[in-house]
Amino acid sequence: MHKGIRAVAVLAATGLAITGLAACSKSNTPAASKTPFVGVILPDSGQTSVRWETNDHPALEAAFKAANVKYDIQNANNDKTRFQTIADQMISEGVTVLMIVDLDSGSGSAVLKKAHDAGIGTIDYDRLTLGGGADYYVSFDNVAVGKLQGDGLISCLTAAGKTKANIIELNGSPTDNNATLFKQGYDQELKAKYDSGDYTKVGDQSVPGWDNTQAQTIFQGMFTTAGGKVDGVLAANDGLGNAAINVLSQNGLTVPVTGQDATVQGLQNILAGKQCMTVFKDQQLEANGAAALAVALANGQTPSGLGTITDTQTNQPVKFKQLAPQAITKDNVKQLVTSNYVKYSDLCTAAFVAACTAAGITAP
């Protein structure tokens, strides 16, 4: 997918201006300047979302190559001990910046503290490590992600003529700050419908570690408790959405289900009419933003154009490069193929060619 795409103007593309960067690259390199070497630890290889290896990994690689930065990208495979071991290795191999997607705030904070003590710059990528005190955070507006999901569910139910609906919420990991923010967003949008009695919440559970397999068991439990009377599902990402769709299908039901990450599976579920929407978060922009910050850290620069986010554990602000998410429905899936985010051949496999054509997606 992304390899090399938009790779060229990596710093410009992020919209980040790095004060004084041009001047210092010519001469007078400040004493603080080091040759950037970025270590990245990704969280898992698909148990929670395929995004990390399918999208983020190649996007980060392209961003570092374009910025001419040395890098080492590894995956903790959902294992906190391995996460720690990789961090130790990276610190001893001399990274100047450590970028992490934490598995939870406790283990993430321990790693950030070690890096900080070793004088290494730190970046939280996608997930804010509560209590971690990273130098920078790069992510999307995650409350906005949740709002798109809540609004998307309401739109799909309304389009289906459902004014009264029983809703199940299948939330992300209780130890991922993003899951908290997504829920804040969708509960805010659904509140009026719950308050008026139009919608009834018949289930609301979190999925430990976003585990897509366990999600199916958890959803099955809530579905059974609700006596199978479910009209809509707020699932926090495509993997959780697919778990819900499996149970619904086994029971002969098709109802609006939300998602996130614009994965091939999620997009195919949308084309097949089994999923109502997903949220597209362009990982190339996220990776470009992170690469620009890593360069800034190595050069002792102060990037401008950043906001802040409050770490709810320490009440301290963390410098935040915030990106905007986008809702995807059957009406605009096409855009992701046109922009080359997803390949026609990956999305429009034999079983989906007709649905692709119906959605205006044609072979290149």
Q: Is 178 in the site for ligand BGC (CB under 6 A)?
A: yes
Residue span binding ligand BGC (CB under 6 A) among the ranges 44-52, 188-196, 307-315, 337-345: 44-52
The footprint of ligand BGC on residues 202-221 (CB under 6 A) is: 210
Which among 20, 43, 38 has a CA at the least distance from the CA of 120?
Answer: 38
Q: Is 261 in the site for ligand BGC (CB under 6 A)?
A: yes
In terms of DSSP H, where are the helices of 198-278? 212-225, 238-250, 264-271
Burial of 42 (0-12, 13-18, 19+ CB in 10 A): buried
| 172, two tokens | 């992300």
Q: Is 51 in the site for ligand BGC (CB under 6 A)?
A: yes
| 226, two tokens | 């609700």
Could you write out the DSSP letters of every residue in 150-215?
HHHHHHHHHHTT-SSEEEEEEE--TT-HHHHHHHHHHHHHHHHHHHHTSEEEEEEEE-GGG-HHHH
Judged by beta carbon, residue 44 or residue 231, the one nearer ligand BGC is: 44
Residue span binding ligand BGC (CB under 6 A) among the ranges 61-69, 109-117, 153-161, 171-179: 171-179
The footprint of ligand BGC on residues 277-306 (CB under 6 A) is: none
Q: Is 48 in the site for ligand BGC (CB under 6 A)?
A: yes
SS3 69: coil
- Sheet arrangement for strand 165-171: 199-206, 165-171, 232-235
Q: What minimum distance in Å lies between the beta carbon of 51 and ligand BGC?
A: 6
Q: Is 176 in the site for ligand BGC (CB under 6 A)?
A: yes
Q: What minimum distance in Å lies between the beta carbon of 176 and ligand BGC?
A: 5
Q: Is 237 in the site for ligand BGC (CB under 6 A)?
A: yes
| Number of residues counted as binding ligand BGC (CB under 6 A) | 12
| Binds ligand BGC by CB under 6 A, chosen from 126, 187, 189, 282 | 126
| Binds ligand BGC by CB under 6 A, chosen from 14, 260, 275, 288 | 260
Residue 48 contacts by C-beta under 8 Å, 6 or more apart in sequence? 78, 173, 209, 210, 211, 212, 237, 239
Q: How far is CA 184 from CA 104, 148, 201, 317, in A?
A: 19, 12, 15, 19
HSE (side-chain half, CA atoms, 13 Å) at 154: 17
Residue span binding ligand BGC (CB under 6 A) among the ranges 55-63, 172-180, 188-196, 309-317: 172-180
- Between CA 51 and CA 102 the distance in angstroms is 15
Judged by beta carbon, residue 126 or residue 135, the one nearer ligand BGC is: 126
Residue span binding ligand BGC (CB under 6 A) among the ranges 48-56, 109-117, 320-328, 350-358: 48-56
Residue span binding ligand BGC (CB under 6 A) among the ranges 16-24, 158-166, 170-178, 329-337: 170-178
Which among 249, 250, 277 has a CA at the least distance from the CA of 263?
Answer: 277
Judged by beta carbon, residue 50 or residue 295, the one nearer ligand BGC is: 50
Q: What minimum distance in Å lies between the beta carbon of 127 and ligand BGC?
A: 5
Binding site for ligand BGC (CB under 6 A): 48-49, 51, 126-127, 172, 176, 178, 210, 237, 260-261
